[in-house]
Structure 1
Amino acid sequence: MTIRLTGRSLLLLGTCFIASPLTAQDGNALDLGTLRIDTAAAQNVLGNDEITEEEIENRAPATMGDVFKGESTVTASGGAAIAQKIFVNGIEESLLSVTIDGARQNKSAFHHSGNILFDPALLKSVEVSEGIAPADAGPNALAGGLAYTTKDARDFLTAGQRFGGLASLGSSSNENGFRRSLTLFGQEGGFEWLLSGTRHTSDEYTDGDGAVVPGTEADLSAYVLKLAYTTQGGKRLSFSASQTEDTGLRAAQAGPGGILFIRPDFAGVVGRPSTFVEAMSRRTSYTVTYTDEAPQGWFAPTVQFSYNEQELDASGVWGLNTSLSGVAKNEWQLRNGTLTAGVDFFHETAEGEGRGTGAYGSNGKEKLNSVGLFAQARQDLTNSISVSYGGRVDRQEFTAADGTTFDDTGVSVNGAVDMRLTDTLSLNAGVASSWGGYELGEAALINFGTPWTYAGFTSSRSQTARIGLRYDTGRWSASGALFRSEIKDLNAVLPSGGDRGALSDLSSQGFDGSLTYTGDRGYARLNYTYADVELDDAAIGTTAYYYGRPMGHIFGLEAGYDLSKEMRIGGTAQIALKNTDGGLDLPGYTVLNAYVSYRPAQLSGMEFRMAVDNLLDETYASRSSDGVGLGNVVALNEPGRTISLTASMRF
């Protein structure tokens, strides 16, 4: 067992337990107002952005890539749902803490597929932490976190409403797409329920040159059940179950052992003829949560247990990742802020099998257990200075596919300060040292071709820092920050020659900024990010699976304007400049999207929407897609101009 701490880390950790006295001794809650460290503007400079419910409604996402339209720090790869990956400043989401409604998610089982299969039909908001994740965000947050929140029945119901529903039908021109969803919800007394289903089908889409991009047909099904009971005193117990599945014909090529492997992230592999086979990716999740929404005095608990699994059938191999996790925490009211502290755990597995012969008819399983203690304080020290600081201690035990066991304990600390310099200008800075523990290997390829070995297998750690300024006059706001995230001793998740103990270092550094104008009837926002991503001190490649992708300069734009109470127009754009970092040669592109939304006053609850994506019919591959610029890969182009029509009715 090893614990690695710097003097600064010990100092920051110690401050977690030095806070103002509790003020709820008499059983009366204290109204603290709004902590400036928790304001959206302060968090944006720290890299903790929120994609709000209004922004999601404006983007009307049909895929996870649509959720991040107009963003520059968060990008998505393309293709069918089975292939889409999310990156934050060029770092893949498998190195972030990813939660859905607070429940921890494991990664996928195969490197040519996305990590978290998720349909955005019920998505309410997304919290993005770029590098500096608070201690109460969970373990293994090496490069930050993504926290998805979905809608409950009460998010749809109006005061006094007992039953309702939302139906939606949409079609798109490029790929003959057809998306339909139905959500029913209701409440009676303190009991509420929600049942939702979504089906999305299409043909293969064409790129800007009119060429068919093979293996990109949509065949997605998503189902959600939510139940909850809230007492008059605010005690709330909720249960949710969901299943999301993507199937369909995907491009596959022969690989090791002569068996077929799906590669839905590629349009093709040079020199290897493609065969189209049925593939499947499925995520299943169950979550139980108890919380007190109207706490009295010092006791404001949240307790959650969750189980989820992600299964992938890649034709020649099969893999399954499971995660059983839980958290118990309490939020204490301090004289000038809050302190959240608790314990969390997870038990995760990765298992798979090869469907070849001999060494390619492999099977194996890895296990990872973790228990953590954490505390995070958020306080206003003065009228001009606010702070957030915390720490966590995690203990992990790893069981290798050959039965070898490893164990280690690590400490993570973080600290941030928001300092008001003038009435309109503030300085914001933060640092974090995060212990990453161990990582499960790729489930589908455990022992594939050769037995995996674990010499040199160890735990990882990241160091992250951000510093920036923000300016806000009400209508106009601007912010900019320098950032650096460095992760040391990452074990090989997809090992070469079965060497799981091979170590790599990953870093992302650069600048991100934003300029926003908010008017009475509309808004406009320009985002800019430059991220220099390196793996082992060299420019990262476009197939650095489980690590990241080369980003360079990315611009994101978003605007919306209300022509009337019934009609809104708007659009988004992403501009990627040519990237030649470290000898790369990645072409630039400009993608514009526009929409008009109409809600007729005479048809209450009805909305009609027309959107034109890739308005200029650009032929391009997303900067974060796999294999861009490689001579042996035919990169997966994004859809060309696509006109979509959607009608939705709330009743």
Structure 2
Amino acid sequence: MKISIRARLLATATICVAAPIQAQEVIDLDPIRVEADEAQEALGNSEITTEELTARNPQSIKDVFSGESEVTVSGGAAIAQKVLVHGIEESLLSVTIDGARQNKSAFHHTGNVLIDPTLLKRVEISSGLAPADAGPGALAGTIAYETKDARDLLEPGDEFGGIASVGYGSNASDFQRSLTLFGRNEGFEWLLSGTQISGDDYEDGSGNVVPGTEPDLDAISAKLAYTTETGKRFEFSAEQVKDEGTRAMQAGPGGLFFARPDFAGVVGRTSVYLPALSRRQSYTFTYTDEAPEGVWAPTVQLSWNEQYVEAGGAIGSNRSLSGKFENDFDLETGILTAGIDFFHDTARGLGQLNTAGSKETLNNLGLYAQMRQDVTDRVSLSYGARVDTQKFTLADGAEYNESGLSVNAQADVVLTDSLTLNIGAASSWGGFELSEASLINLGGAWVYGTPEPSRANNARIGLRYDRGPWAVSGALFYTKVHDVNDVLTAGRTLFDLTSQGFDGSVGYYASRGFLRLNYTYADVQMSDTTISSTAYYAGRPVGHIFALEGRYDINPHLGIGGTAEIALENNDTAGVGGMSALEGYEVVNLYASYSPPANENVEIRLDLRNLFDETYASRASDGIGLPAVITQLNEPGRSLALSATLKF
């Protein structure tokens, strides 16, 4: 495997950025006191912080995970983007927004959870090892998105504020604008936010226009909260995000056109370009006690959300009503989180070809407990279990009832002042899975096979070195999901899904900057064969991924930085199901941000994306490596983006 001259130029630039960081005074970190509930990178628990999100300036969910090698995101417009962890699609993970469960997409050519990243506060990713209180269905881990409240944005003493931003990108003439207003009065808080992104189809690195990729996203959200003098907090949030641009479609059943925004085209089929809609709506109520006394620290949550898709003839809705009641018991030996949760999910086909009664329902009730404790100054443990019981009702009226036990255990052992051992294992019961909503009873009543509940076994072991400005970690991981159901057909064919490999990270952190290189190798297989790039609701072939991220603050008003992704050629796919080897690529993004000394509430930012004008398709994208069947969807070429943000 060879790395091109562009990668060598990138390495040279890395040394140039690292030099001024090394020349300055660095932070000499004290030895870390490991806490059991702290996310540990070597255990696959990573966090994208507010500061990192600000530096990445995300315009889409793909930008959120720039610099993360274990997370890959497919390409194209927002409607098509899917998130994968170690090559496993997010529909096999527990995905939450502010703690509220999110359901999957209603059509396999569209993304699962449509998100406007404007108000994201942090993102926590657990790859493989999910604790019991992460919720049901965490077969291959979790993705937890958390959004900002008014109190996160208000300056001390202020009762009203706002953030307005505008941005323009040269490649697709895309125009982004957002406005967020927020305030508080005594114990009351409120927040209103809106975002719009519009533009034209982008060009790839070869200068070819990629039809059907125009950005057309609208998002609006609101939050209301009241906190009593004793710390009891009541919060309600509502959000709608939709993408409704013109997308590529090809003829399908019944003479209808079906959207495939994840492809540039289908070989042998003429593409037409028609409007398609992907929409997520969410409403959540949460009660927490932020000043608990004794062992009583409850959280109560009730949420409803819908993923709705109109993709030509594929029209469907996935709805989820979910809730939980849990308490953190602050015991002498640690913190015990215990509770009960539930969900009621519905998948419904709504197209003209879906016959009457095209609906499936899935009900789940779970009981769980997770203990986190520092056994000694050097040993921390996290262990727990949950029991779930499900009722699955198919469109033909057949019912299936099953229950399952999930267990997990993790240990963090301080070997020396700078070296820590991490080890963990989990067996997670996933239960049943709804069929794809838009395909249920498509063209006639389905004759079902027998659905089976799924189960995943996960293991991970790694070391972390942390001393002074350096942080180095490495871990071996293994995830195997048994009896994954094919949800695209009534037959319910079963297969096993495996992802195994290595995560590594080397970081240098100083007072005015950092430089970090992440590396992931994931060998993803379906029933002991390298997985296809069209294994929907399962995974994608990943291989070797490098992700580089850095930032240097020249002074308090001017900062520079960037990210890079390098995917090495993946030969494992050659000859598998008609696939070819997957080409490697190197993509570099740079930025500079400036706040005038006279007005620090203004930020001007310049982004240079895809610096080398690389022509490539994301390693996570659908249909790559199948040139005889699918024309792959290339990512945007070089783009110069200018944005301005005003805080008031």
Q: How does 1:401-550 map to 2 (within 5 A)?
A: 401-495=395-489, 498-500=490-492, 502-550=493-541
Residue 65 of structure 1 deviates from its aligned partner by 0.3
Q: What is the alpha-carbon distance in structure 2 between the residues aligned to residue 361 and residue 447 of structure 1?
A: 6
The equivalent of 1:601 in structure 2 is 597
Q: Cα–Cα, structure 1 residues 476 and 150, in superposed 2: closer, same or farther, change >3 Å? A: same
**Partner amino acid, structure 2, of 1:513:** G
Q: How does 1:129-278 map to 2 (within 5 A)?
A: 129-278=126-275
Residue 420 of structure 1 deviates from its aligned partner by 1.0
RMSD of aligned residue pairs (Cα, Å)? 1.1
From 84, 90, 94, the counterpart of 2:91: 94
Q: How does 1:356-375 map to 2 (within 5 A)?
A: 356=353, 364-375=358-369
1:488-529 deviation line (CA, Å, top 9, x unaligned): 01111112xx312x1111010000010000012100000000
**Partner amino acid, structure 1, of 2:554:** L
1:306-339 deviation line (CA, Å, top 9, x unaligned): 0001110011121000000000000011223200
Residue 362 of structure 1 deviates from its aligned partner by 6.6
The equivalent of 1:3 in structure 2 is none
Q: What is the alpha-carbon distance in structure 1 between the residues aligned to residue 147 and residue 543 of structure 2?
A: 32
Q: What is the alpha-carbon distance in structure 1 between the residues aligned to residue 67 and residue 156 of structure 2?
A: 34
Q: What is the alpha-carbon distance in structure 1 between the residues aligned to residue 448 and residue 343 of structure 2?
A: 22
Residue 34 of structure 1 deviates from its aligned partner by 6.5
Answer yes or no: is 1:552 the counterpart of 2:543.
yes
Residue 601 of structure 1 deviates from its aligned partner by 1.5
Residue 449 of structure 1 deviates from its aligned partner by 3.5
Report SS of the residue matched to 2:519.
strand
Residue 156 of structure 1 deviates from its aligned partner by 0.4
Identical columns (%): 60
Report SS of the residue matched to 1:178.
strand
Report SS of the residue matched to 2:79.
helix
From 551, 559, 566, the counterpart of 1:575: 566
Q: What is the alpha-carbon distance in structure 2 between the residues aligned to residue 149 and residue 260 of structure 1?
A: 37
Contact 1:506 1:535 in 2 (8 A): yes
Q: Cα–Cα, structure 1 residues 216 and 582, in superposed 2: closer, same or farther, change >3 Å? A: closer
Report SS of the residue matched to 1:585.
coil
The equivalent of 1:284 in structure 2 is 281
Contact 1:353 1:446 in 2 (8 A): no
**Partner amino acid, structure 2, of 1:576:** A
Contact 1:317 1:354 in 2 (8 A): yes
Residue 458 of structure 1 deviates from its aligned partner by 1.2
Report SS of the residue matched to 1:209.
coil
The equivalent of 1:626 in structure 2 is 622
Answer yes or no: is 1:611 the counterpart of 2:607.
yes
Residue 412 of structure 1 deviates from its aligned partner by 0.2
Residue 340 of structure 1 deviates from its aligned partner by 0.3
Q: Which runs of 5+ in 2 are unaligned?
A: 1-31, 575-579
The equivalent of 1:25 in structure 2 is none
- Provide TM-score, normalisation by structure 1: 0.93
Contact 2:80 2:109 in 1 (8 A): yes
Residue 450 of structure 1 deviates from its aligned partner by 4.6
Q: How does 1:299-310 map to 2 (within 5 A)?
A: 299-310=296-307
Report SS of the residue matched to 2:614.
coil
Contact 2:137 2:430 in 1 (8 A): yes
1:527-574 deviation line (CA, Å, top 9, x unaligned): 000000001110000000000000000000000000001000000000
Q: Cα–Cα, structure 1 residues 157 and 189, in superposed 2: closer, same or farther, change >3 Å? A: same
Answer yes or no: is 1:592 the counterpart of 2:584.
no
Q: What is the alpha-carbon distance in structure 1 between the residues aligned to residue 216 and residue 556 of structure 2?
A: 36
- Provide TM-score, normalisation by structure 2: 0.93
The equivalent of 1:75 in structure 2 is 72
- How many residues are treated as equivalent by the alignment? 611
Contact 2:150 2:182 in 1 (8 A): yes
Residue 35 of structure 1 deviates from its aligned partner by 4.9
Contact 2:450 2:491 in 1 (8 A): no
Answer yes or no: is 1:340 the counterpart of 2:324.
no
Q: What is the alpha-carbon distance in structure 1 between the residues aligned to residue 347 and residue 443 of structure 2?
A: 17
**Partner amino acid, structure 1, of 2:507:** T
Contact 2:573 2:581 in 1 (8 A): no
1:82-126 deviation line (CA, Å, top 9, x unaligned): 100000000000000000000000001000000001110101100
**Partner amino acid, structure 2, of 1:401:** A
Q: What is the alpha-carbon distance in structure 1 between the residues aligned to residue 544 and residue 356 of structure 2?
A: 42
**Partner amino acid, structure 2, of 1:152:** D
Q: Cα–Cα, structure 1 residues 385 and 134, in superposed 2: closer, same or farther, change >3 Å? A: same
Answer yes or no: is 1:385 the counterpart of 2:379.
yes
Q: What is the alpha-carbon distance in structure 2 between the residues aligned to residue 331 and residue 119 of structure 1?
A: 31
Report SS of the residue matched to 1:164.
strand
Report SS of the residue matched to 2:395.
coil
Contact 2:355 2:444 in 1 (8 A): no
The equivalent of 1:6 in structure 2 is none
Q: What is the alpha-carbon distance in structure 2 between the residues aligned to residue 582 and residue 268 of structure 1?
A: 21
1:139-197 deviation line (CA, Å, top 9, x unaligned): 01000010000000000011110000000000000000000000000000000000000
From 556, 559, 570, the counterpart of 1:565: 556
1:269-312 deviation line (CA, Å, top 9, x unaligned): 11101011111011100000000001011110000000001110
Residue 221 of structure 1 deviates from its aligned partner by 0.3
Q: What is the alpha-carbon distance in structure 2 between the residues aligned to residue 96 and residue 181 of structure 1?
A: 30
Contact 1:355 1:362 in 2 (8 A): no
Contact 1:353 1:362 in 2 (8 A): no
Contact 1:35 1:379 in 2 (8 A): no
Q: What is the alpha-carbon distance in structure 2 between the residues aligned to residue 411 and residue 245 of structure 1?
A: 37
Contact 1:362 1:446 in 2 (8 A): no
Residue 257 of structure 1 deviates from its aligned partner by 2.8
